[in-house]
């Protein structure tokens, strides 16, 4: 052993790892300084322990068997043994993680005479690995938590926007559909009824003597009566039926797939149910018996569109009132019949109550359409042949290949019908019909399209310039389509309501609106938009204004422009009137309203305009109150304008059609929150929470939120609290004839409060 020690001692002294030499008897015959340091013992104490035959691992606070077995196998097999990550502890309390290596030492005959135990301290590496595993687990936990938070926030945001959408479609007092939403549901129901050739019914309901209830008991009790009536209406009809509040104490119901007898029975049940339902004020039943009068009109007997059904049901309701109230009356052709009275005179139907037989295209051509002059714009010879075959009887057909040729003909000739396919040589068929409308304003305008989903293709375009849209595969129905358009136009002149004072007033207004647009008899005003932080001026919204003494409202003017295809001209002139302000005021930023149909105006999207010189200072507001259908075409038009420097805002968010979808699909730079959300926000926490979610979403997307319609100090404080970026409303500034100079508005007296949750 002495010879072995002399050989290995110089080698082991130079080791940085702890090392010992152990003889066959298990005693330590040599150890190097790193081992002595690892034990934590003094030199004397270590020598005493070794003299007492202490084994290696007993000196390190670990079980002796850990290395004893390895030493024994090494002596037996003359092989190296290694063990990883063994915890040991020194005498002074330090802990180590070591890797153990047991190597044999042999003599010249190959016999194992001793073993060397090498202990490498890997504590730092082990701690690093442990810390890495901890950090990795923490990172994964944080990622999962963040994912959960995003999921929760997304659900909250979707729920909030769904709530806004619901509020925009329902009456706030009764929870029934509001007038606009009911109209959409009823029109959809009529389309389905026509497609499947089934009957439907429309009910006009009015609470009897409701004004007396308000006068005698107050409006709070009146509201209880209205909500009770709404609950009875919901219970009385099927979930597939549509129930809405028409206004005041009037309610409307659309019954899908319902016969005349079924509609009368449903109305009778509703009348009896309301009469027998007590009016509850909390736990107390009020001494009130509320009755209802109902007028019933059935499709197609009493009308083939919603206006006709409303008129027929309204006349029936008037008869019910005249006959003593609290009854159901059916509209009839020759008269009106009360519930329980003699049968009404109705159009002839077969014994099963089926609708009248639909006429074939040839049968449906009336004598009045004989030799109707039709102008067809189509370059494809095959389609031209199809059109000629469809209109071979009763029509004088002229076909041209392009818009230029059609315009030349229209300068010399008058045509009763203009037909164009959506796919033209250089322009869309929609653009062609719009241009022809200027020279042939009285002509029926029909557009043919290829898509099997026509409304998906056309929503968001200027449908007001069209009378009829027909699939190209249904071209053989052209005669029926022309007759339908003519009949609809004639109904405006022959309907009884059209001969009354209201119709005369409407016709006068229509003439005035035409003069306003054609003669440019309107002006623009500028309403300031300010920074919420300090009240400093940010921009102006450009608003259209008519003369104060005009009988025409702006809503009527824009509705008329859409119906008559004048929305492009009206929008162009508004932008022209305001454009010179950008030349005069280099610091001005202007917001212009755009209807989705205006984004298809080729003069705006395909050519440079006077606004292009200041594109960086122009924001186009896409009104969300209008339906946006073809997002692909919308995004294409917006991309072209963005490439020229213009920016975009979604207007009236929360009061229109698209909601979150329009934000997601159009990626606006600004979101203008509708005033219906801002109104009374200081007294309605749910609105504040909703607006807070919108602001958080906008901050994440880099979008600015504009709160519209701020009119009270309470609303101002609340919208600043939740973190809105920009503000607009009568409290901020009224619309003015001239844009304000920077600094013209007084700053807010206090800095905005710190944003609060909810």
Average pLDDT for residues 292-317, to the nearest whole number? 93
**388-417 tens-digit pLDDT:** 888 887 788 899 988 888 888 887 777 889
- What's the pLDDT score for residue 68? 80
Domain 2-121 belongs in CATH node 3.30.450.20: yes
pLDDT tier at 353, thresholds 50, 70, 90? very low
- 367-494: CATH superfamily: Response regulator (3.40.50.2300)
Least reliable range by pLDDT among 337-346, 457-466, 486-495: 337-346
Its CATH class, for the domain covering 522-727, is alpha beta
The CATH homologous superfamily of the domain defined by 179-338: Reverse transcriptase/Diguanylate cyclase domain (3.30.70.270)
Q: Which of 557, 585, 674 is nearest to 625 (CA)?
A: 674
For residue 79, name the pLDDT band (cuts at 50, 70, 90).
Answer: very high
| Local confidence band at 16 (pLDDT 50, 70, 90 cut-offs) | confident
pLDDT band at 27 (very low <50, low <70, confident <90, very high): confident
Per the listing, tokens 């109150």 go with: 625
Domain ranges across the chain: 2-121, 179-338, 367-494, 522-727
**Model-level pTM greater than 0.95?**
no
pLDDT band at 191 (very low <50, low <70, confident <90, very high): very high
CA dist 590 → 299, 435, 615, 737 (Å): 49, 30, 10, 14
Average pLDDT in the 442-453 region?
77
Which among 265, 260, 261 has a CA at the least distance from the CA of 237? 265
Average pLDDT rounded to a whole number, residues 584-595: 90
**Mean per-residue pLDDT for 73-92?**
84
pLDDT of residue 754: 57
Average pLDDT (108-122) is 87
Using pLDDT thresholds of 50, 70 and 90, give the confidence band for residue 755: low
Percent of the chain that is helix, strand, coil (3-state, to 5) = 45, 20, 35
The radius of gyration of the chain's CA atoms, rounded to the nearest angstrom, is: 42
Spatial strand order in the sheet of 18-23: 28-31, 18-23, 112-121, 95-106, 81-89
Short-list 324, 237, 304, CA closest to 273: 237
Q: pLDDT tens digits, residue range 256-278?
A: 999 999 999 999 999 999 988 99
pLDDT band with cut points at 50, 70 and 90 for residue 658: very low
């Amino acid at each position: 052993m002495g010879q072995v020690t002399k050989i290995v001692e110089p080698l082991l002294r130079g080791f940085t790892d702890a090392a010992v030499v152990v003889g066959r008897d298990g005693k330590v015959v040599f150890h190097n300084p790193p081992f002595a340091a690892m034990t934590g013992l003094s030199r004397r104490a270590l020598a005493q322990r070794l003299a007492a035959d202490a084994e290696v691992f007993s000196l390190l606070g670990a079980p002796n068997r850990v290395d004893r077995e390895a030493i024994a196998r090494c002596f037996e097999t003359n092989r190296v043994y290694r063990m990883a990550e063994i915890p040991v502890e020194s005498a002074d309390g330090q802990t180590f993680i070591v890797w153990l290596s047991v190597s044999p030492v042999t003599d010249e005959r190959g016999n194992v005479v001793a073993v060397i135990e090498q202990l490498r301290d890997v504590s730092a590496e082990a701690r690093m690995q442990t810390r890495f595993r901890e950090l990795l687990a923490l990172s994964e936990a944080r990622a999962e938590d963040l994912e959960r938070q995003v999921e929760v926030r997304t659900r909250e945001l979707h729920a909030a926007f769904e709530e806004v959408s619901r509020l925009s479609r329902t009456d706030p007092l009764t929870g029934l559909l509001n007038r606009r939403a009911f109209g959409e549901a009823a029109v959809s129901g009529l389309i389905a009824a026509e497609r499947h050739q089934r009957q439907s019914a429309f009910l006009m309901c009015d609470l009897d003597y409701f004004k007396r209830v308000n006068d005698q008991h107050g409006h709070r009790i009146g509201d209880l009566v209205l909500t009770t009536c709404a609950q009875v209406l919901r219970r009385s009809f099927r979930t597939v039926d549509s129930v809405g509040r028409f206004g005041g104490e009037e309610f409307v119901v659309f019954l899908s797939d319902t016969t005349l007898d079924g509609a009368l029975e449903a109305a009778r049940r509703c009348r009896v149910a309301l009469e027998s339902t007590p009016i509850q004020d909390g736990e107390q039943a009020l001494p009130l018996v509320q009755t209802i009068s109902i007028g019933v009109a059935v499709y197609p007997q009493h009308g083939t569109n919603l206006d006709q059904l409303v008129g027929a049901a309204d006349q029936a309701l008037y008869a019910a009132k005249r006959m003593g109230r609290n009854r159901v009356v059916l509209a009839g052709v020759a008269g009106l019949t009360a519930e329980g009275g003699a049968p009404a005179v109705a159009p002839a139907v077969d014994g099963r109550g089926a609708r009248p037989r639909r006429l074939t295209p040839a049968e449906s051509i009336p004598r009045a359409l004989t030799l109707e002059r039709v102008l067809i714009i189509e370059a494809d010879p095959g389609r031209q042949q199809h059109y000629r075959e469809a209109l071979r009887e009763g029509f004088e057909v002229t076909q041209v290949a392009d818009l230029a040729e059609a315009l030349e003909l229209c300068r010399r000739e008058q045509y009763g019908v203009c037909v164009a396919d959506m796919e033209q040589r250089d322009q869309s068929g929609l653009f062609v019909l719009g241009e022809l409308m200027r020279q042939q304003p009285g002509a029926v305008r029909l557009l043919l399209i290829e898509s099997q989903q026509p409304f998906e293709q056309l929503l968001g375009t200027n449908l007001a310039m069209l009378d009829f849209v027909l699939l190209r595969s249904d071209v053989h129905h052209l005669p029926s389509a022309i007759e339908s358009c003519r009949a609809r136009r004639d109904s405006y002149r022959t309907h009884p309501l059209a001969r009354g004072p209201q119709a005369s007033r409407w016709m006068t207004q229509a003439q005035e609106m035409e003069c306003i647009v054609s003669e440019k008899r309107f002006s623009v005003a500028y309403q300031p938009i300010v920074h919420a932080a300090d009240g400093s001026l940010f921009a102006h919204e450009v608003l259209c204004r008519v003369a104060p003494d005009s009988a025409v409202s702006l809503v009527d003017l824009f509705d008329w422009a859409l119906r008559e295809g004048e929305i492009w001209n009206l929008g162009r002139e508004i932008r022209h009137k305001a454009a010179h302000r950008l030349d005069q005021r280099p610091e001005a930023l202007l917001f212009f309203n755009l209807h989705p149909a205006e984004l298809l105006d080729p003069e705006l999207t395909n050519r440079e305009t006077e606004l292009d010189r200041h594109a960086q200072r122009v924001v186009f507001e896409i009104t969300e109150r209008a339906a946006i259908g073809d997002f692909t075409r919308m995004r294409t038009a917006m991309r072209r304008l963005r490439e020229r420097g213009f920016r975009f805002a979604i207007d009236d968010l929360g009061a229109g059609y698209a909601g979150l979808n329009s934000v997601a699909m159009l990626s606006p730079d600004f979101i203008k929150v509708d005033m219906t959300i801002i109104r009374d926000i200081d007294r309605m926490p749910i609105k504040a929470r909703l607006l807070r979610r919108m602001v958080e979403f906008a901050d994440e997307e880099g979008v600015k939120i504009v709160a519209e319609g701020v009119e009270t100090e309470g609303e101002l404080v609340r919208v600043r609290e939740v973190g809105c970026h920009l503000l607009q409303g009568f409290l901020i500034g009224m619309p003015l004839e001239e844009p304000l100079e920077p600094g013209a508005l007084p700053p807010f007296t206090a800095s905005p409060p710190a944003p609060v949750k909810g």
